[in-house]
Structure 1
Amino acid sequence: MAVLIGRYSLLMTLSIAHAVITDTFSDGTLVQLKEGKIRGHILKSENGKDYYAFQEIPYAAPPVGKNRFQLPKKVEKWQGVLNTTKNTKICYQAVSRFGLEISEDCLFVNVYTPLKPGSKSKKLPVLLWIHGGGLSSESSTYEYSGPKYIMDHEIIVVTFNYRLGPFGFTTTEDDIIPANIGLKDQKFAIKWVNENIHLFGGDPAKVTLVGESSGSLSVSLHVLAQKNGGEELFRGAIMESGSPLVGFEQKNPREEAFNCGRTLDRNFRSNDTGDLLKVLQEAPAASILKECTKASGSIIEKEGDFSYAPFQTLLEGNFGKVPILLGFNSEEFIWACIDPDEDTVIALDEDPGRLVPTGINISPENKTIAGKLLKEVYTNTSFENDIGGYCRVSSRWIIVRPLVKKCELF
């Protein structure tokens, strides 16, 4: 009898263990990717509904060592189950919030879905978010861009990191240090979504790109790059407070790249881009961030995805047509008006001609006259005494004007 009870107890234990394993593997938090398995977790939406979160999934190989200043590469397969239940890293930048680590190893994607992965229900549309920050700061982590409000509306949210500042935009304008690496990280992530989102209940044919500030600028560039008959990686775009017509491009990217190398290594005299790459790949990340800030910002490439002038491309209509929603706020630069840069404010008061866009062909005399007239639109006194006027003119000329013009051209 004792033996029978022992066998029965053993069978019960094994059965319970099997049930626990089965339930754990079928709770929607385990997803099999081509590279390996990932384990997510379940969170609550604003209205208290469960949704499934998978954070810090690698979408590209770590851009470190020989991969620094190179195009994104595919992730190598991993063994076991990768824990994707929290964000720990943001791409290299000056400041980190929320206790997250600043790291070059940062090319991660986050997926949030109200559908249980693996279920056979309908496929949901996808909001693919590109974060802002002037192409030099911020992140896509849960702490920066949480999805809990959207999870109540039957939409899958995807966010991702991309290389920033000099790490994402230093270039020698050749194949040694390619141009717009940060934008190409973005495209790599967009392709990852197209290939994998069905595993999370998403419809790859219903992906909408969404971005704010430089994220909006980035979305615009991807729209312009999606030529008719080319790759169709998304079906629509939402652009919040950002336009490539603001004139954000680097003016002398190759020169700035070499200046960066010579600052990092005072003995570096070569004009060979291969030698420069070696200097940059061996330099400490903190030194690159400190010394190479001018080697930031997108450029117009000689050929490839981003080899066009945005204004001319919009005029010609030579891009893939998708539904577009654009928007801005009345006081976009109110954050900069809380503690304004005194030198900039005084310079605008002393020379209102600075308010005239640099791309306008106008004589110096008429530029001064036009600047004075423009200044009267925003203040009856001076920007130094009327910070509200400075805020309005900054918002208008940096955000609103180029975005409205883009809307007209679309």
Structure 2
Amino acid sequence: QTRRGGVRGAAPTSLAEALTRKNSRAPKKSGKLKRKMAAWRAKRKTNLPQPTTPPPGNPWRAHFVRSDEPINVGGNAAVYRMDPIPESGGLWLGSCPKRVVAKEWRKRLGGDEAYAFEALKDVCVTSAFANMKGHALPPPPVNRIVDVRLEGGKLFVLMEDGGLDLHDLVHMKQKSMRAAATPRELLSFAVIVYHILSGIGRMHALEVVHCDVKPENIMVMEWNATPLPRARLIDFDFAGNASDPASSFGGTEGYFSPERARGAACSRETDIWALGITIYQVLTGSNSCRVKTGTPRREQAQLAETFRSKIPHLKRGFAMNGALLQRARNINVKKHVHVEFIGSLEARLWSMIERLLHKNRTAKFQDVVGDAREIAQKARDFAKDATAPSGTGVPTDVGVGGMDWNVEPDEGACVMVTRE
């Protein structure tokens, strides 16, 4: 209470008063002293070790620059764009894939055995499909893996850039088969539907079930480019042996079949039901079958049954873009064929969805794949004739830009030769 021998105020009578009373007894600092202390603090701050931002995970930093922000984020991993460094000479010899991305799994593999198993399974199944050669049954097309590394305990996968995922195409870019206004756009969606169905059909023929079919796990390459789009399946971390229910698990709410929601193991029926929900979204652009996260399984089963029962009602209120029929009527080459195709298209697409959601959907699945292939072929013929000069029957973009009208899925895989 004293300063230079003099009393400065009475002592506080309580702890509360001591804590709240303004400290008027501290000696006032002169302007010169304040300046000296500020300079000392600045010097001390400069000399202290500054926090550093750890470099982003990139085991291929000698050859590629990783994007700062992910281009796609999932529950277990994030995907980053990888820009090649020209002077590095490239990571591999060869010409494909031309664009690559890096998939970084979020957690370290050593801490969670189940997580590590899922991550490694995705890599192994993808590699197995990509490298199947000379097999009697063709594998589903996949995004090819270039390299796999461990860094800091995390798994990094350098792989072919798969393009845009189907969810972003339908729900973010608001593209759908229903809204298709040109023959070319209709053809693109018909090819995508055929590739999705064909890919799952090929997996099932190899006794493999995906167990997490949804638009986010389907990549679409070359949308709106000169070649026709290519649709490929990704994320095989929940895949299992179709003959062993114990090996199959996982999935996403909203895509569970009624049987799966009630506790049945993942099976071919599970994949086919999820295909029906996915194709419904591609056709309509609607996500009305979405289920809130955390919805009890019993309620999910009821919602799935309700959605199946609503298909006849949804079908009645549906209509394709009228511009397609008008375009078919204006074609001079095989006009009656194209008019008949567009006129019957709605009924055929809804029939596919009904069969994919049917209780006996496994027995009907191959017929659905065959119908999707035929629709893609007829859509190709429609697009070719619609782009031809009047009366010639020859598309204007054949020979100009090398248009590839092949509607079949990719076959085989290119061979990568790494330098490291």
* Larger relative contact order (CA 8 Å, sep ≥ 6): 2
Which bin holds the TM-score, normalised by the shorter protein?
under 0.3
TM-score with structure 2 setting the length = 0.25
The structure whose Rg is larger is: 2
- Structure-1-length-normalised TM-score: 0.26
